[in-house]
Structure formats: C-alpha cells, structure tokens
Amino acid sequence: MKNTKSTPHFAICVNNGEYPASLELHKIYRVLPDKDAQADGDLRIIDESGEDYLFPADYFIPVDLPQTIVRALDKSFVRPAVTA
C-alpha cells in the first residue's frame, strides 16, 4: 500500500514577473500538494510572507532533492514554540 503521507516538494522560482514582492528569482520554495491547483496550471507555494498562495506553475522548475537535504529543509520549516 502506498504511503498516504505527502512528502514535501520543492521548486526553484524562474519568473517572478507579476509577483516581485512575493517571490525571489532563483530561490527554492516549498510546494504544498494541491491537485485542484495543479489541474488549473498552478502550484501552491509558501512565498516570502510565509503563507501559501497559488502561483502559475510555469514560474517554477520542480526539483528532486536528496533526502538529506529534504530532511534539513523540513527541520528549518519547524519553528520552536515561543514560551512566555
């Protein structure tokens, strides 16, 4: 049986024409699974605001990264809890 847990994917921004404040050229972004967005030609990206938004898929090149890098990136997205 296939693992139902989604593995994070990453993509490199190659065009930020309409979104210069939201996307940096040549930066690796986290891609969240979204079949509806993909069917419409979009990707759900965590942008510079730290929130996820839809962007044209042709603004990005998907990349397959070695598992060691994926694990390191996953850890960097986890933020420690703030205590008072």
Q: Which of 25, 6, 5 is nearest to 15 (CA)?
A: 25
What's the average model confidence in pLDDT over 67-71? 89
Residue 21 has, within 13 A of its CA and on its CB side, a CA count of: 1
Q: Is the model's pLDDT at 7 over the cut of 90?
A: no
Q: What tens digit of pLDDT does each residue of 10-54 get?
A: 999 999 999 999 999 999 999 999 999 999 999 999 999 999 999
Topology of domain 9-77, CATH: SH3 type barrels. (2.30.30)
Q: Is the model's pLDDT at 8 over the cut of 70?
A: no
The answer to whether residues 43 and 31 touch, using CB atoms and an 8 Å cutoff, is yes
Highest-pLDDT range among 5-14, 39-48, 68-77 = 39-48
Give backbone dihedrals phi and psi of 38, rounded to 5 degrees, phi first.
Answer: -60, -40
Q: Enumerate the domain spans of the chain.
A: 9-77
> How far is residue 69's CA from residue 49's CA, in Å, rounded to a whole number?
23
